[in-house]
Amino acid sequence: MKKLIVLSATLLVSMGLAACSSGSSSSSSKSSSSTTSQTSNAKVKINTGADASAKVPAAGTLVMRQLYAAPHGKQSFAAVNVTLNGDTIVSAKIDEFQYVKKSSDWTGVPNSNKDFGKNYPKGQFLIAKAENSKPYSALMKKEAKATHTWEENETAITNFVKGKKIEDLKADVAKVKDTKKVSDVVSGATFADTAGYLQAIYDAATTGMVAEGIQTTDNTITEGQVLAAPHGTQSFGIVTVAMQGDKIANVFLDEFQYMPSKDFGGVPNSNADFGKGIKSGTVLASKRANSEAYSAIMKSKGKATQTWQENSNAIDEFAKGKTIAELETAVSDLKGKKKVSDVVSGATFTDTSGYLTAIISAAKAAK
Tell me how far CA of residue 32 lies from CA of 162, 210, 262, 277, in angstroms: 22, 18, 20, 22
- Cβ atoms of 256 and 250 closer than 8 Å: no
Question: Per-residue confidence at 337, pLDDT binned at 50, 70, 90?
Answer: confident
User: Could you count the other beta carbons within 10 Å of the beta carbon of residue 17?
Assistant: 24
Partners of 298 in the β-ladder: none
Burial class (CB in 10 A: 0-12, 13-18, 19+), 78: buried
- Per the CB < 8 A criterion, the answer to whether 77 and 317 are in contact is no
**How does 93-130 read in b/e, with b if 16+ C-beta sit within 10 Å?**
bbbbbbbbebeebbebbbbbeeebbebbbeebbbbbbb
User: Which residue, among 86, 129, 111, 81, has the nearest Cα to 241 in the 3D structure?
Assistant: 81
Q: What is the mean pLDDT of residues 214-223?
A: 97
The sign of the CA dihedral 107, 108, 114, 119 is negative
Average pLDDT of the segment spanning 190-196: 94
Average pLDDT along the chain = 89
Specify whether the CB–CB gap between 17 and 27 falls below 8 A: no
pLDDT tens figures, 60-76: 999 999 999 999 999 99
The torsion angles phi and psi of 146, rounded to 5 degrees, stand at -65, 140
pLDDT-based confidence at 145, cuts 50/70/90? confident
Least Cα distance to 67 among 34, 38, 89, 42 occurs for: 34
pLDDT tens by residue, 87-105: 999 999 999 999 999 999 9
Amino acid at 287: K
171 Cβ partners below 8 Å, 6+ apart?
none
* Lowest-confidence pick of 12-16, 47-51, 164-168, 210-214: 12-16
The percent of residues in the chain predicted with pLDDT above 70, rounded, is 89
